[in-house]
Amino acid sequence: MIMQQTKSTSVYKSPNQRGDQFFLPWAPKVTREKFSEVVTWKLSQSRLAKKKMLESYEPQIQEKALDLWKSHVAALRVMWLGHASFMIQLDGRTFVIDPVLGDINFFTKRAVPLPFDPGNLPSIDVIVLTHGHFDHLDTKTLDYLGKQNPQAQFYLPLGMRKYLSKGLQERATEFNWWDDIQLDSITCTFLPSQHWHQRGPFDYNKALWGGWWFQGERESFYHTGDSGYFGGFKAIHDHMGRPTAMTLPMGAYAPRWLMKAQHMNPEEAIRAWTDVEATYGIPMHYGTFDLSDEPLDYGVREARDLISKHPERHTLTTNFIKLGHGGSAGFEDCIRQK
């Protein structure tokens, strides 16, 4: 049993770089979609794409999101800023992860307005990025937050510093998988995920991707980043333990033939949740930007259905925390607060 565990987890600690390119040691053939595949996808219309056209989307938006945030204190507080962007407060320190406060680009605009004036955000200690895709690394937002928080540090995957503006680069630290850094009582660890990198025509996998674990004195938060379902979730649990809460990516997963290797569907996200044994699961990567075939909140609806159909998963029902845009939750002694 122990032998098996060592064998199954060691691949996630194997070398992940050849020359200036990174790769997945457990699945070296997993790669970005081919151009011809993207064209095939765009020319076809799947059942879910048709469904999306017929449905209207009514997002949930938290009123007075920042007032609510500032009026509550807990060992861990988590706010969903939309898509994969989160603000967390842990043991008194404030982190933002993958902040995208505006549109991704001219073609991919926010489906939901930002629920607060960014000028009213609290002081931020660290800006953390999981990877370089445009729905996670938004240079405009980073410049804005970097200027607004001149003391803030940047924690980045290896190879990402070059994407920051010159003035921000000296405030950045780069991390390989399993590297960590201490900030007061908090240990921040960068972890593997099954994904890839590209921002331009010549930088395929020339920067790393992954997830982040924030371990405080009593509470912890795991942001998975983008990932296909992989055995690494069990390995992460074996190495890191049980987080108070983790993100559950459940968007940009259809069509499966194109997305499966790099994005989980709700069923796989729930499997990842049970692998990691997080007490609470917080859905993300849905509802803000239209990136794929499924309707914007379809993943969350499907996840609720899947959980309710399995009585053995009843604890997941109460611990599945769907936050609205700007919605937040506090955790103390691993129990959800207001």
Q: What does the binding site for Zn ion look like in residue numbers (CB under 5 A)?
A: 133, 135, 226
Could you tell me whether strands 245-249 and 280-284 are parallel, antiparallel, or unpaired per DSSP bridges?
parallel
Shortest distance (Å) from residue 238 CB to Zn ion: 25
Nearest residue (beta carbon) to Zn ion: 133
CA distances from 296 to 48, 56, 90, 149 (A): 10, 9, 30, 32
CB of 285 vs Zn ion, minimal distance in Å: 6
Distance, CA of 205 to chain centre: 18
Distance CA 146, CA 153 (A): 8
How many of the other CB atoms lie within 10 Å of CB of 232?
Answer: 29
Q: How far is the CB of 248 from Zn ion (least distance, A)?
A: 13
Shortest separation between residue 1's beta carbon and Zn ion, angstroms: 35
Kindly state the smallest distance separating residue 131's Cβ from Zn ion, in Å.
Answer: 6
Q: Are 244 and 76 in contact (CB under 8 A)?
A: yes
Angle at 259 between CA 209 and CA 222, to 5 degrees: 40
Toward Zn ion, which CB reaches closer, 135 or 219? 135
Q: Is the peptide bond before 25 cis (omega within 30 degrees of 0)?
A: no
Q: Is 334 left (phi over 0), alpha (psi -120 to 50) or beta?
A: left
Residue among 135 and 293 whose Cβ is closer to Zn ion: 135
Q: CB-wise, 207 or 245, nearer to Zn ion?
A: 207
Cβ-based nearer residue to Zn ion, 52 or 223: 223
**Closer CB to Zn ion, residue 215 or residue 224?**
224
CB of 247 to Zn ion, least distance (A): 11
Phi, psi dihedral angles at 203 (to 5 degrees): -120, 25
User: Quick one: 77 or 195, whose CB is closer to Zn ion?
Assistant: 195
Least distance from C-beta 98 to Zn ion, angstroms?
Answer: 8
Q: Tell the burial category of 151 from Cβ atoms under 10 Å away from its Cβ (0-12, 13-18, 19+).
A: exposed
For Zn ion, give the closer residue by CB, 69 or 175. Answer: 175
